[in-house]
Structure 1
Amino acid sequence: MIRKKEAGIYREYESLLDALGLAKRRDVRVCAVGAGGKTSLLKCLASEYRQRGIPVAVTTTTHMYAEEKPWFLLEQSREKAAEILSREGVVFLGRPDRDGKMRAPDEAWMQEILALPFPVLIEGDGARMLPLKAPGGREPVIPACATHVLSVYGMQALGGRMQDVCFRADLAAGLLGRRPEDPVREEDIALLAAHPEGGRKAVPERAACITVLAQADLPGRMAAAERIGRTVPGEVLLSGRMEDRL
């Protein structure tokens, strides 16, 4: 389920690429930031590119999980990256890290990745899988060349205590004038998404910033997501839980 706010109403789309207007572009650098669900969102985008025969690279400026899949490459090798792309249509690039994760490529390798002549998808921070987040002092890490920033918020957070459902709850509470023990309201998600130290933090001037309200297909959440989306400026996507198609 993917719906996009257009002129105050919501239009249904069958794919993320079409909803974001990226289907015909090869020069995009899409960075996902914010709450848990970023990896699933990027994997869904990567799967759509792959299904359309468009090569795509996925990487991170911080950390993400490294899976035992043939499209993960945790070493700097142009030859192996090209071989994986030719065979799989997608490649995930990074360096080995602890706890089953991969970390960002070194600076020189990252610059090569960002210069590739096809779409590159980037995970720009972590949220410990919680549905809400306020970025820390050095977060998010968004490349200056990013063309699109997807700022993710999970509707699962609605009604939960901020300290239970939000990564860096103290920071979020400070931005919102709330307390960590307070329940998360619709207006809290909307304000955090639009805040210059929240969902709009570190977004490059020329990049499109799209708020993604994920898990909107949870029981009782769709109407709330629609109301939140109408109060958030700019582009807003409502999405269901993303199916892992890679």
Structure 2
Amino acid sequence: MKPEIHYHALHSSPFDLPTSTPLVLALVGGGGKTSAAFWLANQLRRQGHCVFVSTTTKMFLPKETHADHFINLEQEENPLIALSQLNLSDPSITFCYQKRIKSNNTNDKIKVSGVTAELIDNLKNDSPFTVFIIEADGAKCLPIKAPDRHEPCIPISSDMVIGVTGAEIIHTRATPERIHRWNTFSALTQCSEGDMIDHRILGNLIEHQHGMFKHAPEQATKIWLINKIDLVTNYQQLTQLAHQVMIQTTQLDAIWLASMHSHTPIKDVLTRN
């Protein structure tokens, strides 16, 4: 029996969170994880949360306007104690990182290393933060990827894992230079160079135990976020693909179709009954 799929437009936050429960959201995949992380952070700050944003890998240092507080843990002897004792009385966004990564090119954007997954697990129930948003994967700015042996680095306390894919790769021919970890991607999805990246290949990536949601806790809500829908010429074809993927997979709780740089980023949502 096929699952009943609900399809509806969304013009605000995709979820309402209880203010009493610390929540950990982890973002994996490619195609705009950082934009999604800070959009979510802003939504949740508006709902009254103290939001912690960081990475368990590396990411670009965000602009000063993206967060209310920036914390560099490089000089902290015990990061857990330092973060647990912060006094945050008002809703806010705190970006936390370990150290800046030196680059030989002075024109490069500044990259930073993040925190450990274990630190997030320990902070979840012993800190002033009510939501943790963690970029748990890297993709070299490419729209899609498969995880390597050591990836992704998802906190075991994660309540939601969001797998991100850039819409511009969907319904195009597979080429290794546009896909991060091509050899792994090809093996997991049974995709050869030149194949159309369709619902079959994307469904394989989502469903495979070493695919998009590798290392995601079993109890975590799993969302597929298709980003950059503004780059798609046939939106109806994209929504049909999303519907097909939802039917053929068992992993997903919802699919968000979005353009994270627009005023109302999430255009449509598919949920499973």
Q: Same fold (TM over 0.5)?
A: yes
Question: Following TM superposition, by how much is the alpha carbon of 1:87 offset from its aligned partner in structure 2, in angstroms?
Answer: 7.2
Match of 1:103 in 2: 113
Match of 1:174 in 2: 187
CA contact (8 A) 1:163 1:181 kept: no
Question: Following TM superposition, by how much is the alpha carbon of 1:53 offset from its aligned partner in structure 2, in angstroms?
Answer: 2.9
Matched, 1:229 2:246: no
Deviations 1:139-165 (A, max 9, x none): 011111000000111111120433132
**C-alpha separation between the residues in 2 aligned to 1:31 and 1:22?**
17
TM-score, normalized by length of structure 1?
Answer: 0.83
Q: Specify the code of the residue in structure 1 equivalent to 2:238.
A: A
CA contact (8 A) 1:151 1:212 kept: yes
Query: Percent of aligned pairs with the same residue?
Result: 23
Question: Following TM superposition, by how much is the alpha carbon of 1:57 offset from its aligned partner in structure 2, in angstroms?
Answer: 0.6
Match of 2:45 in 1: 50
State the secondary structure of the residue aligned to 1:50: helix
Pick aligned residue for 1:204 from 196, 211, 217: 217
Match of 1:214 in 2: 227
Matches within 5 A, 1:104-183: 104-105=114-115, 109-115=119-125, 116=127, 117-158=129-170, 159-183=172-196
Q: Specify the code of the residue in structure 2 equivalent to 1:239.
A: L
Matched, 1:192 2:172: no
Give aligned pairs, total. Answer: 236
Question: CA, structure 1 residues 7+67, in 2 after alignment: closer, same or farther (shift >3 Å)?
Answer: same
Pick aligned residue for 2:9 from 6, 9, 12: 12
Q: Specify the code of the residue in structure 2 equivalent to 1:24.
A: P
Question: Following TM superposition, by how much is the alpha carbon of 1:14 offset from its aligned partner in structure 2, in angstroms?
Answer: 1.6
Question: CA, structure 1 residues 80+243, in 2 after alignment: closer, same or farther (shift >3 Å)?
Answer: farther
Question: CA, structure 1 residues 190+224, in 2 after alignment: closer, same or farther (shift >3 Å)?
Answer: farther
**93-102 vs 196-205, greater mean Cα deviation:** 93-102
Question: Following TM superposition, by how much is the alpha carbon of 1:106 offset from its aligned partner in structure 2, in angstroms?
Answer: 5.2
Greater C-alpha Rg? 2
Match of 2:270 in 1: none
**234-243 vs 196-205, greater mean Cα deviation:** 234-243
Question: Following TM superposition, by how much is the alpha carbon of 1:192 offset from its aligned partner in structure 2, in angstroms?
Answer: 1.1
Q: Which runs of 5+ in 1 are unaligned?
A: 1-5
Match of 1:23 in 2: 17
